[in-house]
Each structure stands twice: as structure tokens, then as C-alpha cells.
Structure 1
Amino acid sequence: MTATTDRTTPAAATARHPGRVRASWLLVVLVALFAAMIASVVLGARDVSVSDVLAGVRGAQDTLARAAVAQRVPRTLLAALVGAALGLAGAVMQGVTRNPLADPGILGVNMGASLAVVTGMVSFGLADPTSHVWVAILGAAAAAVFVYAVGSLGRGGPTPLKLALAGAVTSAALVSLISAVVLARGDIASTFRSWQVGGVGGGSFDRITQVLPFLVVGAVVCAITARGLNSLALGDDLAAGLGERVALIRLGASAGAVVLCGAATAAAGPIGFVGLVVPHLCRLLVGVDHRRLLPFSALGGAVLLTSADVVGRLVARPEEIDVGIITALVGAPFFIWIVRRQKVRAL
């Protein structure tokens, strides 16, 4: 009798044991998130050991360790929350529009929130951080509606390319408007210049407390619409034939994504490409079912943004590179790859 060798491919293993494979990937993502958060607390302009972290938590006499821990813990939590919000919002936007290029930054949603916050502070004297979140949500919603309306014009409706072009043009226009508003106020120009790039360096427990309720509400709304997003992937007509309320699903999912984007932008500035990169990678791990894709995208976004913040602190220390720059360096080539891939499929 000849011995046979088991050469089961990963794809065959996934098809044979899908639940086991997804559980394994969940464990991998959770371990990656834990490692990224530990690295975020330990690494920086002054590295501290794990024992130093524990000493800082206990309030030991090591002043430097205590100060490092006190500053980095809320920063790490804010990075994880903002990354989770952007990853989840990106997955929802791609599901709502059936557009693989959908992203809060590419579609101009983040810049709409930024313009609203800047205008509110400069023109109306808004100083309460909670009011910044409300204003950011309104600005994000207005930008999303405008981009979708412009991308829907002409023959073919809101195609991925038209939405991406409309979002890019809108983002460029909004950036110019933000600069015009800020330049008129030299006393705040330097502060807004750093915030406009996107970063979590100013993270604090107060800021987390102010945006956390909005993030929770947005995440819950998106989770409720997960099953409906699966139906939308089949097309509006077929989804309606299955008994789904297409308009209500699209409105609810969009509202949840807008709340997440507005709150994340108010807390950390307009950080781009997280919502583009993470959902695509998560689809490779767990498939296209939004009931699994959405939580994985949230975890993946937290891993990506926390890791990007650590990289930004290490590559230029003792100075720092804002996390928005790091995500752009990662996301821009990924965006070009997706565009070329979609172009090849269209041929």
C-alpha cells in the first residue's frame, strides 16, 4: 500500500472548517491588538520596561516612568477607539455603496467633519469638546450627502470611479476652505495645522469620555444593519424581493458610519485610508459576510492605527510623525493597487 501525503490547501481547509479558521484569525487579531497596545505604552521617546509600566501604575517613585505611563495609556486607548471606528465605518461605507474604493477620507467625509469643527470654533466660538462632536457629525453627514449626490449624476448612477472622483474633488475643496478659515486666525493656525494632519498625541481620558458614547451608538447602529448589508450586496432589486427595506437599511448604515466618522475626526483629526485598507484585508480572512466582517474591521482598524502611532514615534524619535502621515504612506499605494485591480476587472 502506498502512503499518501495530505496536501490540503488553506482554501480547502477554510471551506472544510470555516468556524475553526475564523476563530483562529480572531485569536490572531486579538493577540496583535494586545501586542500593539503594549508596544504603544512601552515604546516612545523614552522606552520603559514592563516593570516600569507596572511601577507607574502603582504610583512608584519613578517619576519619568509614571509620567510616560500616564501620557501613553489614554493615547493608546484613543488610537484603538479611533482606529476601530474608522475601520468599521469604512466597511459599512463599502457595503452601502458597493464601492471597493469607499473610505471616510477618500469620500470627503472626514474633511467635511473637519471643516465643520474649524468653522464652529472660529466663527461661533465653540469650545466644548462635546459640541465639536455634534458639529463634526453634521459636517460629515453634509459631505457624505454632497459626494453621493455628485457621484450619482450622469449615466450609470453612483459608480465606484465617479464616487471616488467626486470625493477627491470635494476633499481638495474642503481642505482649501479649511486653510482659508484657519489663516484668518493666526493665533490658532499652528494648533489646527497639527490637528488637520490627524494624530492621537493629545489623547486624554477626558477626550475619550466625550467621544465614547457617540462611538458606541454608531457601532451599535452599524451592527444592527449587518444582515441588511449582506442583502444589499445582492443588488437593490433582489434585496427588496427578499423583503428588505433597502432605503431604511442604507439610511441606517450610513447614519452609523457618519456618527463614527464625525466622532473619530473630532477626537483625532481627519485620518485617512484606515477605512480603505482594513476592510479589504479582513475580507481575505473572514469573507464578505458583514456579520463577521464588521467586528473584524473594527479590531483590524484598532490594530492598524495603534501600530501606526507606534511607528510614527519610533522612526523620528525623539520627535514624532503624526499617525495620519503613517496611514497615508501605507494607504496610498494600497489605493492605487485597488484602482488598478478594478480597472483590470473592467476590461
Structure 2
Amino acid sequence: MTPSTAATSTARGAHGALKPLSLLCLLTLLAALCFLSVAIGTREVSWEEIFAALNGQVNTVGEAAVAMRIPRTLLAVIAGAALGLAGAIMQGVTRNPLADPGILGVNLGATLAVVIGLAWFGMSLASAYVWTAIIGAGVTAVFVYLIGSLGRGGATPLKLALAGAATSIALSCFTLAVVLPRNDIAGGVRSWQIGGVGGATFDTLNLVLPFLLAGFAISLLSARKLNTLALGDELAAGLGEKVALARATAGIGAILLCGATTAACGPIGFVGLVVPHLCRLLVGVDHRWLLPFSAVFGASLLLLADVAGRILARPSEIEVGVVTAFIGAPFFIWIVRRQRVRDL
């Protein structure tokens, strides 16, 4: 082995050793944010009340306030992880740096399906919300992919982004048209459409958790297939990969994550766009590392946005969907300016 080869091998080994350490640091940050989330709110609480509430006591108003923040914190963690992971999956499946559950219209498809269920079919069962949102997300994802596949060149990243943007605008208009004549549901729907985790309960968590766990499992098991798809369809097929099946499997995982999260929190945007890009700066493009990093980073980002929303507007709150929009919109503009059209 030459000295240059040995140096390269040593550098790669050192870089590889940094990935587990970076993941551990992210998990430590997430744990600290979880503690901040149960400690900070519109009502100030003492350390004694925090620890008492964490031990299951609700004898005072402060302890009851902390107890209400616990399911909110857990929902923010799993929702952020789901959105970050779904964004990484969608960017890998479409090979599009602008892919995101919000930009491709998947979240809005789930939103429209839930609104139609409420307004036209009198949907009341909590489990029906989740199934309806997942179906809406799935139909929208397939529709956007089919539209983006039309014409010469197939489903190019630019065509998918344009198809998703156009579909998002249309779905927003349809949702507004369904809600406007229904004053009985308009207030609740508009509040839910902002996107937030403030109304979380353990019942909500128990309802969406099976769908999210299935989505996490399918998505994380798709890492190797996404690495192969990144080489291009022809080369992936030459290596024995069933391209259509690989895309469909990974897509199902992302749809489960987006649909269940939208049903529980409303359409929260930009987390799936911002997080995978930041994680690539840490771990590169290997999806075996990118996917778990995106999940942990997404959980940390959404939890941080929720805590910031409580601090910035005291004694009121800013919904987490508004905070993520303030973070994500400038980031989206930066990506568009950084990427040349032919590279999208």
C-alpha cells in the first residue's frame, strides 16, 4: 500500500468513525430539547413541579401544565422524525433536491381528503382521519408522479417540482372551496391547517403510532435501494434492482409517514426539505446514514420550532407550522438560487 493510499484509507476511517459520534450528539441534543419542551410554556413552573409531573403527579396547576406538555413533546418528536425521513425518501426516490411532502403536494392531498371526509361524509371516528389522510397522500403522490412523467425524458426532477407546485395550488383552492360554505367546521379546519402539536394527547399518539412505525420500518429498510437508484435507473436495473418496485416500496413508507403526521398535526411544511440537505452536509449521500440522521434531525428541528413558538409570543403561542415556514422559506429560495435549472 502506497503512502497516499494509506492516508486516504485512514481519512475515510476517521470520517466513518465521526458518523456514530455525530448521531450520538444529535440524540443528546434531542434529549435536551425534550426536557426544554416539558419545562417551557405559557405558564412558568418550578423544577419540583417538572420532576413531579414526570413521575406522574398532577397535584398542582403547574404539574398539570407539565403533564399536558409531555404528549405534545412526544408528538413533536415523532412528527418531526417522520417529516424529515419522508423528505429524505422523496428526494431519493425522485432524485430531486426540491422534493418535500409540502412542495410535492402530498401533505395538501392528505389535507383535502380529510376536509372532504369532514364536510361531505360527516367523518367523526379518529381512526378514519388517519386512513383518509393516508389515502389522500397516496393518491396525490401517484398523481404528481404520473403528471411529472409525461412527455420527453420521463419524470425529471424539474418536471416533478413543477407538477407538485401546480398540484399544491389546485389542492389549496379545492380545500378552500370545500370549507367556505361550511361555517360549522371552518374554524376547526383553519386552525388545523396551520399545522401544530399543541392539542396532542396520548390517545392521538396511540392512534397514529402504528402507521408511523410501519412507515419508519419501510423507509429505513429502503436505504440500500435508494443508494442503488441514485446511480440512475439504467445502472440500477443492470445491477439487478427492480427500479419500479424499489421506488414504490420507498414511496409507500413516505406516504404512511406523511399521511399519519398530517392527520395528527395538520400540514407542516419545509421540515422535509430543510433537514435532508443539512444532514447531507454531515454524512454525505449514503442513505444508510442519511435516513436515520434525517429522522433525528427532523425531530430536533420540529421540537426546537415548537419551543421557540412558545417563547416568542408569550403569553400566547405561535403554531409550529408558522415557525417552520419562517425557517424553510428562505432555505427554499437559497436552494433554488444555488441549483442551476439543468442540474435540478
Q: How high is the TM-score relative to the length of structure 1?
A: 0.93
Q: CA deviation at 1:58?
A: 3.9
> In the alignment, which residue of structure 1 is the partner of 2:210?
213
Once the two structures are superposed, the pairs formed by residues 183-222 of structure 1 within 5 Å of their partners are: 183-222=180-219
> In the alignment, which residue of structure 1 is the partner of 2:17?
20
User: Counterpart of 2:123 in 1: which secondary structure?
Assistant: coil
Distance 2:55 2:223 in 1: 42
Distance 1:248 1:61 in 2: 50
Aligned-partner residue type, residue 300 of structure 2: V
Distance 1:315 1:72 in 2: 17
Aligned-partner residue type, residue 197 of structure 1: I
Distance 1:27 1:233 in 2: 27
Gaps of 5+ in 2: 1-7
Preserved CA contact (<8 Å) 2:262 2:268: yes
Once the two structures are superposed, the pairs formed by residues 214-233 of structure 1 within 5 Å of their partners are: 214-233=211-230
Match of 1:289 among 267, 270, 286: 286
> In the alignment, which residue of structure 1 is the partner of 2:32?
35
> In the alignment, which residue of structure 1 is the partner of 2:49?
52
Pair 1:87 & 2:84 matched: yes
Q: CA deviation at 1:304?
A: 0.6
Aligned-partner residue type, residue 173 of structure 1: A
Query: What percent identity do the matched residue pairs reach?
Result: 63
Pair 1:317 & 2:314 matched: yes
Q: CA deviation at 1:148?
A: 1.3
Pair 1:100 & 2:126 matched: no
Preserved CA contact (<8 Å) 1:14 1:21: no
Match of 2:270 among 256, 270, 273: 273
Distance 1:344 1:177 in 2: 30
Gaps of 5+ in 1: 1-10
> In the alignment, which residue of structure 1 is the partner of 2:136?
139
Preserved CA contact (<8 Å) 2:58 2:64: no
Pair 1:123 & 2:120 matched: yes
User: Counterpart of 1:17 in 2: which secondary structure?
Assistant: helix
Preserved CA contact (<8 Å) 2:219 2:250: yes
Preserved CA contact (<8 Å) 2:58 2:67: no
Preserved CA contact (<8 Å) 1:55 1:65: no
Q: CA deviation at 1:91?
A: 0.4
Q: CA deviation at 1:105?
A: 0.2
> In the alignment, which residue of structure 1 is the partner of 2:179?
182
Q: CA deviation at 1:47?
A: 2.5
Cα 1:338–1:14, aligned 2, differ >3 Å: closer, same or farther?
farther
Preserved CA contact (<8 Å) 1:79 1:305: yes
Preserved CA contact (<8 Å) 2:111 2:136: yes
> In the alignment, which residue of structure 2 is the partner of 1:114?
111
Q: Cα RMSD (Å) of the superposition? A: 1.8
Q: CA deviation at 1:155?
A: 2.7
Q: CA deviation at 1:61?
A: 6.9
Cα 1:23–1:58, aligned 2, differ >3 Å: closer, same or farther?
closer
